[in-house]
Chains A and B, each alone.
Chain A
Amino acid sequence: MIRRFGLVCKLLISALLVAGAAAALTGCWDQREVDKIGIVLATGIDQAPGGRIRVIVQNVNPAALGLGTGGGGGTASLAASKPYRNRSVEGNTMFEAFRDLSRQTPRQLFFAHNQVILISEKLARERGVAEIMDFLQRNPQIRRTTWLLVGKGDPAVILDEPGRLEDTPAQRIFGFINERRLTSQYAARRMGDFLELLESESTQPFTALIERIPNPASPEEHKNRLAEGQVAEPHHTLRINGTAVFRGDKMTGWLDSRESRGLLWVRGEVEGGVIDVPSPDPKGGRVSIEILGSRTRLQPEIRDGQIYMTVEIKTDGSLGEVTGQLEVSKPETINKLEATMAGAIRGEIASALAKAQQEYGVDVFGFGEAVHRKYPRQWKEIKGIWADLFPAVQVQARVEVNIRRTGMTTNPLRPRQK
């Protein structure tokens, strides 16, 4: 027994030694303390003179997020309490530029929590995104679920527009996109989806466009009231405005809110939002209907050498607001409303089609894929000339609207006294 115990001890010690040596040899090479990494929440990419690339990273300052006040206290200065830091550097390639950032940042940058990649419109229009996508695709830390946006103007400006509710502009933009179903007025893509579109045979990439606008909530006369102790609203604010569409890897145009929703209708990605139609009441007024989700089917048909596309959309709605007088309680009214709403949806689709087919000539709808799926043999012949065929595709939209609810009341308020 004692001998066996000794043997076990010897085995254990040697195993420990081997394990220890193995552990020491690897040296915990990718171990990093949470507080020693520079967490990047947003990345901006811009063009720089001389064919170079400029990157902007938004580094979060966790201690200033108001989470780490464990009672240590102290009077941190305003600058130290800024929850984020933007740093910018230029380089010939993305990788070189990012690595060059380590000369500015005390901590190793950590991209796995990057929420937003912001590509400047200039870069997207002039140089194209293909060469920057390689790094984003290759780097293991950058996730394919990161939102990819096109930014109007300098990314550094957009990424330095703090909000009141969220701590960093990155979280703010992320918050916008998470609420996208409330309007469905822009088509944001994740990086992975964008990459798929880039590599698609027929469908062209697109993604949402963000811009900085003067803040209408910051009135002119309040601008200098800081002395009175009032914190003024920021002079500018961020807004996602429509969808940038690409031809190949270069941005070629832009769809406004209405056209963007038309795009989403065809792609079957409308999950919500408000549609505004004129009231069927002859005296006028308007009706706003909330969209409760949609289903879309694309049915291509090749007849006599012409490609026809039938877009079947089924959607549900809920009455959100009625101005003027309308007998909402009558089924006929609802039927009329449904017909009007269907017309409005068809109008949105038509506007998107007009822009995409006639003006830009880019298939962002996925028509090519639908044709490919239904006519795989013919597709082989036409895929080479799809860009030329696409503008001539005859599209017919069939919309079926079903208004399910009318809200907490039926007929609108009618003041009895004159």
Chain B
Amino acid sequence: MVKNKKYRLEIKQPRLAAGIIFFTAKACGLPPAVNVWGVELKKILETLLRLITYQPDFDREGFILRENEYDRQSVPERRDGGQKSPGGPEGGGRNGGGEGSGRRTPRRAARPRRKDEPAGEAEPGRVHSRLDENRRAVERIYGLPANKDVILREFSLGTDPPLRAFMVFIDGLADRKSQYRLLENLMIHCRILRPGDVMSASRIMTSLLPGSQVKNLDSFEKIADAVNYGDTAFFFEGSDSALVVETKGWEARTVDRPETEQTITGPQEAFVENLRANIALIRKIIRSSDLYTEIIPVGARFRSDVAVMYIKDLANPDLVAEVKRRLSSITVDFVTDVGMLEQFIEDSPYNLNPQTLATERPDRVAAALAEGKVAMLLSGSPFALVVPTTMFSQLHTGEETYLRWQYGSFIRYIRTFSFYLALLLPGSYLAVTLYHQEMIPTELLLAIAGNRERVPFPTVVEMLLMEFSFELVREAGLRIPGIIGSTIGIVGALILGQAAVQANIVSPILVILVAVTGLASFSIPYYSLAFAVRIYRFFYIAMGALLGFYGITIGLFIQILLTVNLKTFGLPYLSPAGPRTFPGRDMVGRLPVFLQRRRPDYLNALDDVRLPGAPRGWVEGGDGGSEDGSDR
């Protein structure tokens, strides 16, 4: 119906056009021959329009991706045998998505549910005591035998009398070796049991299955959840529950060096895609029973586990509760990376600055946890999300803490300087050279003017050209296949540096400028923050080119307003500088570790004191530095 209306609309236009021509011809008093010609024109126009607009041709295409039930009514039916759905869409509940062909549900929410449609879960999905029933249920859930990587293996226990059983697992997710051992036990070693024992699932669990994690479940939904994540489910004749044994064992990357947060000193481990391994990496550093790991499932259709980690007697309970509240309120189809998760839980999605800290270094997460922050790890993501975070911590790396304090402070000052450089250098250059020439030293002005003499473009165009080229090199360098990766350096260096200057497209001083800006933006350790700076930079280029330093001042004013008003999980983004709180001697400059006696004040950790007693007890006075020993 809807479609028909649309078609009519499309055809209306040529008719209208032709009609107008027809009537104008008539009104102008042209001879009837012209009228006839006008009718011809109308046909020609209609044909033309048919040629340039989309006309569905079912016979040629042979397949229509229908939107919904209404579609089916409006277009001619041409079903063939390939689309038969064995169980129908109503079976299997929310785990039946794998069978898929007949179901078109993504738009279901947008359309009012019809009366005759099945309303969600048809049956409670309990494990039946009869094995055949269970088998049928499993086959329905997984769409067996069409679904080829779900394996249903039937066997019987070697007891006397033999007990029929079957196991379900997903090929590739489950570990073969442990399955062999399980089967070995069930089929062979169970002969040690006395005949006539009641073979209930719980009995088998306690005495026969050597798996370290075995659960006794009676809900198909929970069983399927576990099986989908690599566990193996065992069903036994006569038992109205199934045993789910932990057999996770899929191909995974091993723990490797950090790729995006490289340091020279400090631990060289990075997270991998395996949640358990990642948690272990953190636990390995913080060996404490106070380190809590809570798993919160996220994802409405495809479940992902988010591990919320915090130290019980450090992290503020309100903060932990807020993190859990936000996580559990998410409704999303599925989440593959913490980057997606971040967008669901951050405070201000429309602000440019990142409000969480994603890191791939376990030591960094551990340090954050020890400060009283909360970390989130997602199954399948090699990054951890640390909240709350401040801009200062986004400008830090773990390295400064590992280095002696003088070196660490030096690096941080350089980084802070380069942050401003990356943000403001191109804009300031434009402002100076376009509006405030009197600010440049005479010799430099003459050099700039001499260089610009042959360049045909205005400075703004020149600047945008170079910045765009640089961003291009950056993006292309990231996407280019590794094998031809060395090309990008040559192209970038030659085109951006040498050739553009020789061709008098840009002036050499601008090449230096853009190169310095690029280097400066690479020195910002947090990728997301560097992104924000890159985008803000173009904003400042525009402001500098339009209004000079006046514009840059306006821009800074706006940016500072936006940034100061930002909060992440109740914590002002610019603390401890934004609202001035006790800085903890670890902001831009970093004082010696043994002087950092207290945790960051703004986190309101349960235990404020980081270094009780004398941090350098062997020195007389105990602290090796400050006389009073207090942290003031």
Contacts and interface: CB of A to CB of B under 8 A. Distances in A.
A181 B451 CA distance: 35
Given A60-B446, A67-B446, A33 B459 contact: yes
Given A30-B435, A33-B458, A37-B437, A70 B445 contact: no
Interface in B501-545: 501-502, 504, 507-508, 545
A72 B499 CA distance: 11
Contacts of A31: 434-435, 545, 548
A65 B444 CA distance: 12
A219 to B, nearest CB: 34
Interface residues of B, number: 29
Interface in A19-66: 23, 26, 28, 30-35, 37, 39, 41, 60, 62-65
B438 A112 contact: yes
B450 A68 contact: yes
Nearest to A35: B452
Contacts of A35: 449, 452-453, 455
B447 A67 contact: yes
A191 to B, nearest CB: 15
Interface residues of A, number: 30
B41 interface: no
A34 B449 contact: yes
A113 B455 CA distance: 23
B442 A115 contact: yes
A70 B504 contact: yes
A41 B459 contact: no
Contact of B508 (A70, A113, A115, A141): A70
Contacts of A28: 434, 546-547
Interface of B: 350, 433-435, 437-438, 442, 445-455, 458-459, 501-502, 504, 507-508, 545-548
Contacts of B453: 35, 62-63, 68
Contact of A63 (B450, B458, B501, B508): B450
Contact of B445 (A8, A34, A71): A34
A70 B507 contact: yes
A110 B440 CA distance: 13
B442 A34 contact: no
Nearest to A4: B350
Given A34-B448, A68-B453, A110 B442 contact: no
Contacts of A23: 546-547
B501 A70 contact: yes
A141 B433 CA distance: 15
B538 to A, nearest CB: 14
Contacts of A65: 446-447, 450
Most buried by B among A34, A67, A110, A112: A34
A284 B502 CA distance: 67
Contacts of B450: 62-65, 67-68
A115 B455 CA distance: 27
Given A31-B548, A63-B453, 19 more contacts: A5-B350, A23-B547, A28-B434, A62-B447, A62-B453, A64-B450, A65-B450, A67-B447, A67-B450, A68-B451, A68-B452, A68-B454, A70-B451, A70-B504, A70-B508, A72-B504, A113-B437, A141-B438, A143-B438
A34 B437 contact: yes
A28 B459 CA distance: 14
Contact of A67 (B433, B451, B454, B455): B451
A57 to B, nearest CB: 15
Contact of A39 (B350, B446, B548): B446
A22 B546 CA distance: 10
A39 B502 contact: no
A161 to B, nearest CB: 19
Nearest to A8: B350
Nearest to B454: A72
Contacts of B508: 70
A34 B547 contact: no
Contacts of A115: 442
A28 B447 CA distance: 24
Interface in A75-125: 110, 112-113, 115
Contacts of B442: 39, 41, 113, 115
Nearest to A67: B450
A65 B435 CA distance: 23
A74 to B, nearest CB: 10
B437 A112 contact: yes
Contacts of A71: 501-502
A62 B350 contact: no
B132 to A, nearest CB: 48
A34 B454 CA distance: 12
A105 to B, nearest CB: 14
A113 B447 CA distance: 13
A113 B501 contact: no
16 contacts: A23-B547, A32-B435, A33-B452, A33-B458, A34-B434, A34-B448, A37-B449, A39-B442, A62-B449, A64-B450, A65-B446, A68-B452, A68-B454, A70-B508, A72-B504, A115-B442
